[in-house]
Amino acid sequence: MKTTVSLYDTTLRDGAQAEEVNFSVEDMIRIARKLDQLGVHYIEGGWPFSNPSHTAFFEQMRNIKLKKSKLVAFGATRRAKLKASEDPSLKSLVTSSAPVATIYGKSWDLHVHKALKTSLGENLDMIGDSVAYLKKRKDEVIYDAEHFFDGYKANPEYAIETLLAAEAEGADCLVLCDTNGGVMPFEVAEIVSQIKQRITKPFGIHAHNDGELAVANSLVAVRLGATQVHGTINGHGERCGNANLISIVPNLKLKMGINCISDANLGKLREVSRYIDELANLPHRKNQPYVGESAFAHKAGMHVDAVAKNPLTYEHIIPEQVGNKRRILVSDLSGRSNILHKAAELNIPLSKESPELHEILKKVKQLENEGYEFQGAEGSLELLMLRAGHSYESVFSIFDRIDYRVFTEKRKVDPDPVSEATITVEVGGTTEHTAGWGNGPVNALDRALRAVLPKYFPGTGLEAVRLLDYKVRVLTAAEGTAARVRVLIESGDGRSRWGTVGVSENVIEASWQALVDSIEYKLLRASKKS
């Protein structure tokens, strides 16, 4: 395998420029540690001159030793008509704790004239002076040729001159930037092929994703000799984002034979992807290649049957290589293979000869036709499969009766409505009532249920169960307020999470079904551990 490609992560700067992303200094430190564990070669910590939080980050990083990664401070070339030694941005790079500095300069004559409002010659001096100043004070200097591809298409000779200016003063790597993200892969191939003949220093690629081509453009550049790839975790970045390192890494290693990280670290890819999204407070993209929940999910019965015989039939890699796993979905499109695979996954004894197999398949198709959705409610699915067997007895069978009543009241003295739920249970002729208050009917039902049940199921950890997510989907919108709705609930106990589902024309009843399944699933798990 080749070992000539280094990974350069700019999640903390470019990634943080994405809409709705805002990392605290503590977040940035935690991300840097995680990227170091992944084996990323360079971690760009931000621009200490332009952002107080980045300045604070570099200050705190003085006391943190990275094991594998090099910390990078980012900035710009000196200002026009100002000496490099007097430029505050360059000074901030020098005083940062980072051993590596990356500076960007203008490659597009349009930007030189319109943005910098200076001459083409002065811009070349700005690039050369800045690189020379930093080379005396940093271990490495990386030069980002901003808007390089657009600049090359407008004025190829001048764009190359900007690279040569940085190269002449000792820049360690010349990075070709598709800053606007609109260059096509064939254009990258043509331009990189020309550039290789004019420069001697190693070069890299920094691609944005405005044309949905950042990963493709990065891989094309690597194939033509780029030795450094810039990107962000999950592709976060300004506008449409940056090249997604979560896709680039396995493509380099598994498809192109470039050993950019170890096999063990490749297996951490999904974990790192989810970790960054959690700190960014963003939902995980289910269909993200390699690491998304749907990346190796199979729904069609024919596909499931084929994967059982040979996973290569419908999977381009082994999921575990990137820390993911295969998922077999059960839906109205399911066949016997889906049910059998899911049963094996859940340790439910079921074979092709089991009489309940047909019953389960028939029930799943019937319920999904009514609006149920089991792909996000595997807790309800497991209960459905168990109920089809004659040996399973629901934990709720101890109750001769379990009823509920809910009402919501808006009082003049309260700014918001309040809800009360009453649960009635009857066991052996004894009737008990409990009530719960909540900020809504579902919250009140949840509290009332968990107030009464621990008495009958002590030591099961039921008090730790929390409702983590609640979604309502209208299934028959044409019927207006009489529409059938589906409620999906995600619950957790601090150690695991599970989903349950309910469907009804009454949103409270749909919620009740999902809540009861959620509690029963937790009790089922507890009984298996005892």
Q: Does a structural domain hold residue 344?
A: no
| pTM for this predicted structure | 0.72
Of 22-31, 207-216, 248-257, the poorest mean pLDDT is in: 22-31
Phi-psi region of 256 (alpha: psi -120 to 50; beta: other; left: phi over 0): alpha
Specify the pairing of strand 466-474 against strand 485-492. Answer: antiparallel
CB 230 within 8 A of CB 242: yes
Tens of pLDDT, residue by residue over 168-190, are 999 999 999 999 999 999 999 99
Q: Does a structural domain hold residue 276?
A: no
Tell me the CATH number at 460. 3.30.160.270
Last residue of a domain, one of 242, 261, 280: 261
Q: Does a structural domain hold residue 423?
A: yes
Confidence check: pLDDT of 489 > 70? yes
- What integer best gives the mean pLDDT of the chain? 90
Last residue of a domain, one of 207, 239, 261: 261
pLDDT of residue 456: 86
Q: Does a structural domain hold residue 267?
A: no
Residues 257-263, mean pLDDT to the nearest whole number:
95
Higher pLDDT, 187 or 340: 187
Q: Does a structural domain hold residue 389?
A: no
Q: Does a structural domain hold residue 352?
A: no
Confidence check: pLDDT of 300 > 90? no
pLDDT of residue 1: 45
Higher pLDDT, 273 or 343: 273
Number of domain units in the chain: 2
pLDDT of residue 209: 98
Residue whose C-alpha is closest to residue 372's, from 328, 326, 327, 330? 330
Instruction: Give the pLDDT band of residue 2 (cuts 50, 70, 90).
Output: low
Tens of pLDDT, residue by residue over 50-98, are 888 999 999 999 999 999 999 999 999 999 989 999 999 999 999 998 9
CA 381 remoteness from chain centre:
26
DSSP labels, 418-470: EEEEEEEEEETTEEEEEEEEESSHHHHHHHHHHHHHHHHSTTS-GGG-EEEEE
> What is the residue range of 485's domain?
395-529
Q: How far is CA 69 from CA 65, 203, 455, in A?
A: 9, 19, 54
Last residue of a domain, one of 233, 261, 289: 261
Q: Does a structural domain hold residue 137?
A: yes
The secondary structure of 356-403, three-state, reads HHHHHHHHHHHHHHHCCCCCCCHHHHHHHHHHCCCCCCCHHHHCCEEE
Q: Does a structural domain hold residue 190?
A: yes
From CA 30, how far away is CA 66, in angstroms rounded?
A: 12
Which amino acid is located at 461 in the chain? Answer: G
Confidence check: pLDDT of 434 > 50? yes
Higher pLDDT, 445 or 233: 233
In the structure encoding, which two tokens stand for residue 321, read together?
A: 């290589």
In the structure encoding, which two tokens stand for residue 274, read together?
A: 């989810």
Tell me the CATH number at 65. 3.20.20.70
From CA 487, how far away is CA 492, in angstroms rounded?
A: 17
Q: Name, of 26-30, 187-191, 381-385, the range with top average pLDDT.
A: 187-191
